Structure 1
C-alpha cells in the first residue's frame, strides 16, 4: 500500500538541519557551483566539485576572490560575464578552459544574480563540463531561498520525502508533473507514480538502499511521462530522521529518439515508406501467406521517366517534393493489407497482397498510372511525371522475393523504353532480353573506360558555290563483337543508364582536338559540329565544361557548333535557357538538328539563341517528287531567313535535290552526294581531292 499522508514531515524549524541538507544535496549534484558576494567579490560558498577543481577544500576557498581562485588569465576570460551579472543580468556562456591536469575542456557557465527585494546580494556560478555531456543539478545557497535558486536552474527533477511523505520538491519536478508545491507537501510521494511501479519503489524505500530504475509518473492532466529514477537515502543532522532524495529525469525525448532510430532502420528517411530491407522481409511473409491460402500476389516495380531532369533543372528539393507526393498517391490507391515501399532513388515497389490475378492487377495499375500522371505543383509550376511500371505475379512469375523483384524490374525496363505503354507484365521472353541489355550495358561501360569510340566526320558545303562550310562529328562505338556501331543503336541505352554524359564529353573533346589538328595541316577554317543529348542541357556545368575543353584544345569558340533537338527547346526550363545563353556568350554556335520533325515554332526560336536550322532528311528524300516536302522546305528556309538563321539540308543524295535546295535558298547541304562520314585521317586527302574537283569544274 502507498505510505499514509499522515507520515512525519521534515522539521523546517532547524536552520542548521536545513544547511546540512542543502550541503548534501548540492555536493551530490553533478557540476561545479559557487556563490560570490556582490560588493567584495568574495566567495561565500562553493561545493566540493568547484573547490576541488581549483585545488582548494570547501572551507579553504571561502573568502577568496575569483582571480585568487582561478588565476589572472582565467579571471580575465570571465570578468566581463561576471560584471554583467553583478549589474543584475543573468549570463550564460560557453568557453574552453584547461583542467588542473592540463586537459582542454569545453565548459558551460551560468551566472545568476541573487536579488533580495530588488537589491543585488551576489552571483550564483554554475559550471557544466560539456566534454563529459553531464547535466548539472544546481542548488547552492545555505538557506531555503538559495535552495530554490539552485533547484530552479537544474533540468533534473528533485523530490525529498521521509517515509513516503513529500517534504519538498524543486521547480523542475513541479514543471514535470504540473503541480504546485503546496499540492505535494505532506502527500504520499507514490500517488504520482503509476501503480505498476509501486512494488519496486516500496521495496527500494524499505530496504534503504540506493535504487535506480525506469518508471512512469502521472502528470496532473492525466498523461504519463517516462522517467529514469535515482533514489538515495540522505542522513539527517542533529538527530533528525533520515530522508530520501529522488532525482527524476524525463526520458521522453530519449525514448522517442530510440523509436525513431528503430523506425529509420527499416524505413526511408524522405518518404517514411518501408525501405528495401523491410520490403524483403514483408514480401517474404506475404508470399508465405499467399502460398498457404493459394492466392496471387502482384509485385509492381515503378520508376519515373526522366526524373533526373527535375533534379538537374529545379534542384533536389523539388525532386524530393515529387517523390513524397508520389509516395502519398501510391499509398492512397492501395488497401491496408498491401505494401508500398521505396527501393531507392525514384524506384518504388507496390505489393498487392490481395490480388486475384492479372485482370484485377491491370485495372488497379491503370488507376495508379492515371493518378501518378496528374500534375505535380512544385516550385510554383506544374510538372507532369510519367511512370514506368513492371509487374510480376506470384506464383507464375516467380516464387521467391528475388525472382519477383527481378522479373518486375525487367518488365519495368521494357515499359520505360515504350513510348505508348506505361506498364508491362513480365513474360519469360523478357528475361533473355534483360540479359542482353545488361550485357550491352556492361560492354558500353567498358568501352567508355577504355576509350572504345571513334569519330567519323561528314562534310557540309555551300549550295551556291560548293565551298567547304563545315563538318559534323558522328560518334561510332567499336563494339567488341559487332565492330563499328552507329549511335542509333546505343545512344538510347546510354541515356537510360546514365552513361551519355561521359560519351558526349569524349565526343566534344575529341572533335575539338582533331579540328585544331586540321587547321595546323592547312585545312580551311570551318566549324565542327557535335551533337549533345537533351539531358546535357539541363546539366548546370555544361557551359563550364565546354569552356574548359576550348581552353584545353585551343579551338576558337566560333568554330564549334553544338547541335540539339527541337524537343530540348520545347521542354526547356530556366536551367536550359541559362546553359544556352552561356554558350552563346562564349561564342559557340547552336543548331537545331532534325528540324521540322517536332513542334516547330517561331516562339521558341525567338526565345533561344539559335544560329542554324538543320532540315531533317525526311523532307529532302522526296523533295524533287513531293510538293508537300518542297513546301515544307520552302517554309523552313523562309522562316530561317526572316530570323537571320542559317540552314543546312541533311541527307542530300542526288544532284537534283542539291539543285532544288539551291533554288529554294537553302544555304548548305550535307549527305552522301557530297561525301559519306569518314575517319579523321581521311579528311585531309578528301579535302584536297574535293578542292581539285571544284577547280576543274
Structure 2
C-alpha cells in the first residue's frame, strides 16, 4: 500500500486532536518531562500567555509563564517530577490586563510509560466566577450573621421543628444559650396554652403573622409576635422564624385601654365604662329577679371652689372625694366619675329603699367631712338622686336618666338633700317630647346650618381639609351646638335624617368652593351608628357624590369607635365598599371607645382623630401625654394619619409636634365658621403661607 495512504490517518488524528483541544473551554498543554519544553498547547492555553499554538511549542515552562508565576508553580512541577504517580492540584490568582483579580485552578498530571516519566499534562480552568459566587455567599452569610447579631428581634432557624441555629436576641428572649437550643424541639419553648396552634402552623408552614407565647428558662411566659418564612434547600426546606417581644406593646395597649375606660384624674371608670358595667349588673339582677340602685352624686357649689381657688384645687378636691367614696362602699359596689363633679354609684345585691337610704347617709359622713386643699379648709355638701331597678328603668340609659332627674330635684330643694325618682318627675319627660317635636320640625324644614373648622398640617401649617359641623337654628334659642341635640336626635331616631342633610350640604359646598377656584381640600362629615345599621350607606354616599359632582377623594367620612365595632363582617364590608368609592375613612374621638388593634388592622381606616379630652390636658397631665403619645406611635406603626382635636394653645401644639402628630384641629387654628367666612379664611391662610 502506498505511503500516502498510511500517513493520512495520522494527519486526520492530529487534526481531530487539535480540534477537540481548541474546542474545550479549559487551557490544555503537554510538556516534555526532561526539558519541560512545550510540545503541544491548545489555543486557549497559548493565548492566555500571549502566544499562538505554533509559537509556544519548544518553549520551556519558565519562559512561557514568567518569573512570578514560575516561582508559584515550580514546587508542584518538582513534586510531579519526583513522583510520577501523583497528580497535583492547585489554585493561583493573577491580575488580568485591566487589573481585575482572577483565579486559575490547575491540574498537573504525569505521563509515564513503564514507570518512566515522559511528560506532564497541564490543565487549567478559569474559576473566577465560581470564586466570586463563593465569596458572595460568604459575604451574604457574614451580613446575615451581623444582622442577626445586631437586631433586637429573636431569630431561630429550624428544620421539621428541630432548632438548627439562632441569634443572641433569641438567647436573651428564652434564657438559653444557642448551644443549649440547637437540636431541641422548637415547641418546647412555646406556652402550652398556644402549643396546639403553633403545631398547626408548623405543619402547614403558615407564613401569617400571629401572636404566641414564648417560655423563658425561668418559667416566665413572654407574649411574642411570630412571623415565619419557608426557605427551600437542595434536599429539603427549613424555616426561619422571627420573634418580637410584645411585652412593652401589650403594656402600652393595656395602658391605652385603661385610660380610655377610666377618668384621667381620679382613675375611676368613666361614662363609657360605667355603661358596660351597669349593663352587666342589670343582666345579673334580671336573672336573679333582684333590685339594684343607681345613685347620681353632685357636689354642691363645686364651681365656687374652681372659681375662688383654682382648677388645681378643684382637681385635688375631686381626687380626695373619690378616695373617700371608694373607702365607704362595699367591694361589690361600683363608682364612676362621669364628668366634672358628677359621680355615679351602683349598688347591686338587691338593696331595699331603707338600705339604700342608710348607705347614702353612711356615705355623707366621710364625703362631707372638711377637706384640706393647699392649706385651705373646704366644707362641701352632697346632693344625691336615686333610681331603683326595675321600677325606675330597665336599661342603663333609663336608670341614669331618672337618677339624674332625681338629682336635679334634690338640688332644687337645697344643699345636702337626697331624692328618689318618682312619677312626679315626669314633667321632664313632657319637656323632652316637646323638644323631640321641635327637632322633627327642624328636620322637615331644614333648620340647620353647617359650620366648617379647618384641619391643618402641624409641621407646615398647610390646610389639609375642613370638618363640617352642624348647627340647629332653633326658633327660640338661636344657633344651637350639636352637643345639645345630636345625642337627643340619636335617641329619638332622627339622626339619620340629619346625617343625610349634612352629607349632601357638605359635598355641595366643597364642590362650590372648588368651582370658585379655592384650594381643593377634603371635607369631613360625621355619620352616626344608625346610618350604618339602618341604611345602605354606600349607595347613599355614591348618590350624593354623583348628584353634587364632588370627586370622592375630597370626602372623608368620620365614625366613632363604637360604630366601628358594629355588626362585625357587615361593618367591615361596608367600610371596604366605601373605600372602593375613593372616600377617606377616619375614626373620630379615638381613645374613648373599646376598639383594639385587631379592629384597626382589618378595617381600611386612613386616619385616627385623638379625642379632645386627652389633648385638653396637655402638656401638664402626664397620663394624657402618655395616651396621646401611645396613640400617635400606634397610628404610625399602622401607617395611619393622626389628627389631634381641640388644640387650643401653643404649648399643646409644641408637644404634639414633638410626638410626631401629623395634623391638628382646634381653636388655635380657627373656630368653626359659616361657609362664607370659611372661604375668606381659606384665602387669607393660603396668602399667609405664600408670604412665609
Shared topology, TM-score over 0.5?
no
- Give the TM-score normalised by the residue count of structure 2: 0.41
- Give the TM-score normalised by the residue count of structure 1: 0.41
